[in-house]
Chain A
């Protein structure tokens, strides 16, 4: 009879765990209360069905255990009972489905007063674009992407000039204002997700996908990538700050428009420029940021000449020897707090020298360009 006891413990344990569990949805930070309601309805119906079925099983396994010589009841079928059970199940399904479909209808119907926010995703970072004063995004396509034009904005599109470009991983949005999130991807599938908001959607290269929400909770929330996007997937985290309207306006005023960004680009020496394009085509910027933020690997801002802590407790100054070694054999010296993720790049001596020139250019000058600092 051990099995009856174990089955009973499992059913009981399931129920107890459910009510005792400290792990549940994070506090709702948006208008999507209907999602939580649908989850609750489903929880109740499914939970009741689970408990009833489980307990019947336990009871019957116990009650009708084997007695030699006894015959089981011979009842091949019972159409009435089967019909009843089918109807009850169907009703349960309809009750669960109905609020779900209503909520989905709201989810895909964006209210006309929603403001637009474009989220750009790439391996493995986020960036954002706002349509600016005219309320219209300039046309953008992956084929226009260059280093200076990371979002692929079409050259000469008049709507693009006032678009606000946010290359930082952090975006701020004002509370209670409906937001339509437009998602684009530079390379592979990503998924913009803030657990507190509940909503999410994949970004697909070659397409613009969308969802909408209305933030109702002030706070700083993590943005997670919820679609596997390669080896840095788990590090692809941004932040979304839901702030008061005043704070938002202040923040917005400090952001650069596309026109300002084009005009304000800091010119680089030819060697540094060459170093940058070498670094870019070797995929360095997927893991090393140029704005001081932490990604898979350490940032390159102010890296050159600085003293860094190593995993084994030693420290060293970033010099040519160290950079050369780190490019050729990245696993030999690991920075404190980072993993052995880097893939070695095969560069010639001249190429490394160019990259070092670029590293040198990333000392101090950057700070004036990057108005927004993380935290």
Chain B
């Protein structure tokens, strides 16, 4: 192993700002950028949370909300979905965790191009503002937020029967395009840092799984987001200058439109070529974070590290060839059904391996039930539920009756809504001490955990059964004219009321978390350098919180993987990565 050379990154000059503005606002320090990403993502996530409350109240108590009509309902589902998937989950897992973890865990001073990294955040902020400016506009003008559903299927997106078909959709597409620019700037940094700027001794197969997850997810993003970009550009052209990429000849609400010959299905293919990898852009970093949390807090090495790495890689590659399983009922050529059902179910194998390995890591471990560990455990159970319901929907023929019902809603909330959120919470509880130098309050954290885990489970698990009954998703009202249709029994409506109440409680419980974040920042218990006894490099910085540049003059040297817990014949139960191997061992 060539460890003799002094890495270039050890001597690379960093931008040291003198002013407060340069230090905390236009900072090029990856940790500050991570916090900026995190706070922005959480703030926009709160907007989406409030939207979900409004929708749930409408579902359970139709007509209770004055002025919350079908238009508002549809724009709420659209904005909720888009915000949660893109502006919260993607931004948090890659923008916040990616920025914070990659340089620290790889032993780098910063990202390779800190200025581009800073730009990435500010462009992201612009995309968020462009997305949300629709709400003040709604108050003062006729502009509405788009109600096309987060999948934005044309022709509906830009025809008159949909709320926001005039300008709401333009804002949404513009915001997405800007987000993609921001993501690309950040993503190029993460990948280049991981590939080219690791410290001495840090081989790829010694990287913590968090870094692996972020690495492959970013790579997927760079391949998948172009498809969204292209479809957004084409749809903008359809909307603004009247091209017919996605628009066939149609008669919309009695008016013949000028379009002809376009293909609505082309959009769906492009969208899902982005949309499916997007699921893994969110899931893979969560996988990585959870792997690290389980290993550290169970005081045991992650079981089957190599298998875990290859599973991440395999999932990443396979995720590029399963997209049309979102389109089984879209009217595409039937032969696609065979291919995509098969690839989709194949992806279950590496995913299942990950679940087995998390579970097997618990075997003969020494499990500390800290708050991050609780979140990690709940992630595994939630993810199993989300994963197996995915086996239903991935199998083309089962998808036929279940698609576009609440089964789908329940499935994707479990697997890519709640699971990554649980991983994010676990990660925040885990890394907060390193980031701020203070511990989060344990009791508040546990209360928050139980409300969140049990609450989300009772929201989404029963929801699958509404799907079996056949309740379609995106219905403003299931009952029509005040009476329930035959297929929607009163008991199902009672279940919906129960789910709504649970959702209100779970949402309110998140305020505990925000309180904890703020309160502990000022009043929390002081954290030691390595409060969890973890091995990876971020816990080995000379200062807590790490200073700009992370390390002293010399970057750490890595001698082992990140999972040396409970090594026999050793006096402590963990050996950090930068502790040299004894020759005698």
Contacts and interface: CB of A to CB of B under 8 A. Distances in A.
Interface of A: 2-3, 6-7, 10-11, 14, 17, 21-26, 34-35, 38-39, 42, 45-47, 49-50, 53-54, 56-57, 60-61, 64-67, 70-78, 81-82, 85-86, 89-90, 93, 96-97, 99-101, 103-105, 107-108, 122-124, 141-143, 145, 147, 183, 185-189, 191, 193, 195-196, 198-207, 209, 222, 224-235, 237, 279-286, 294, 337-341
B299 A72 contact: yes
Contacts of A7: 377-378, 381
Which 5 A-B pairs give the minimum distances between C-beta atoms? A206-B248, A283-B253, A230-B161, A195-B470, A108-B334
A100 to B, nearest CB: 4
Interface string B470-481: 101011111011
B405 interface: yes
30 contacts: A17-B465, A25-B468, A38-B398, A45-B391, A57-B362, A60-B359, A64-B367, A66-B366, A71-B567, A82-B356, A97-B395, A101-B341, A188-B161, A189-B155, A191-B404, A195-B401, A200-B329, A200-B403, A204-B264, A204-B331, A206-B264, A226-B472, A231-B74, A231-B162, A234-B476, A235-B480, A237-B480, A280-B254, A337-B481, A339-B477
Contacts of A122: 251
Interface stretch (B24-32, B145-153, B168-176, B284-292): B145-153
Given A188-B159, A207-B264, A283-B254, 7 more contacts: A64-B298, A71-B299, A86-B353, A107-B334, A232-B70, A234-B476, A341-B69
Contacts of B149: 228
B355 interface: yes
A60 B359 CA distance: 9
A222 B366 contact: no
Nearest to A283: B253
A249 to B, nearest CB: 26
B429 to A, nearest CB: 14
Given A123-B252, A222-B486, A230 B264 contact: no
How extensive is the interface on chain B, given as a class?
35 or more
A285 B254 CA distance: 8
Contacts of B341: 97, 100-101, 104
A125 to B, nearest CB: 12
A228 B349 contact: no
Contacts, number: 373
Nearest to B308: A77
A74 B566 contact: yes
Contacts of B261: 206
A75 to B, nearest CB: 7
Given A39-B392, A74-B566, A234-B477, A205 B397 contact: no
A49 B388 contact: yes
Interface string B253-264: 111100011111
A114 to B, nearest CB: 15
Interface stretch (B13-21, B487-495, B512-520): B487-495
Contacts of B106: none
A89 B28 CA distance: 46
Contacts of A6: 450, 453-454
B265 interface: yes
Interface string B404-447: 11000000000000000000000000000000000000000000
A282 B161 CA distance: 11
B529 interface: no
Contacts of A227: 153, 329, 404
Interface of B: 63, 67, 69-71, 74, 147-149, 153-156, 159-163, 248-256, 260-265, 298-301, 303-307, 329-331, 334, 337-338, 341-342, 345-346, 348-349, 352-353, 355-357, 359-360, 362-369, 374, 377-378, 380-381, 384-385, 388-389, 391-392, 395-398, 400-401, 403-405, 450, 453-454, 457, 461-462, 465-466, 468-470, 472, 474-478, 480-482, 485-487, 489, 491-492, 495, 563, 565-568, 573
B403 A38 contact: no
Contacts of B154: 188
B368 A66 contact: yes
Contacts of A82: 304, 307, 353, 356-357
Contacts of B355: 53
Contacts of A224: 470, 472
A66 B161 contact: no
B359 A10 contact: no
A359 B272 CA distance: 46
A201 B329 contact: yes
B254 A228 contact: no
Given A74-B301, A200-B403, A141 B568 contact: no
A104 B338 contact: yes
Given A100-B398, A231-B147, A282 B365 contact: no
A209 B396 CA distance: 17
Contacts of A85: 352-353, 356
A23 B465 CA distance: 6
Contacts of B404: 191, 193, 200, 226-227
Contacts of B74: 228, 230-231, 233
A230 B476 CA distance: 11
Contacts of A56: 359, 362
A186 B250 contact: yes
B75 to A, nearest CB: 10
Given A187-B251, A207-B265, A228-B156, A17 B461 contact: yes
B469 A229 contact: no
Residue among B346, B359, B389 having the largest count of chain A Cβ atoms under 10 Å: B359
Given A93-B346, A232-B70, A281 B331 contact: no
A77 B392 contact: no
A87 to B, nearest CB: 10
Contact of B348 (A70, A78, A89): A89
Nearest to A108: B334
B566 A72 contact: yes
B475 A42 contact: no
Contacts of A24: 465, 468-469
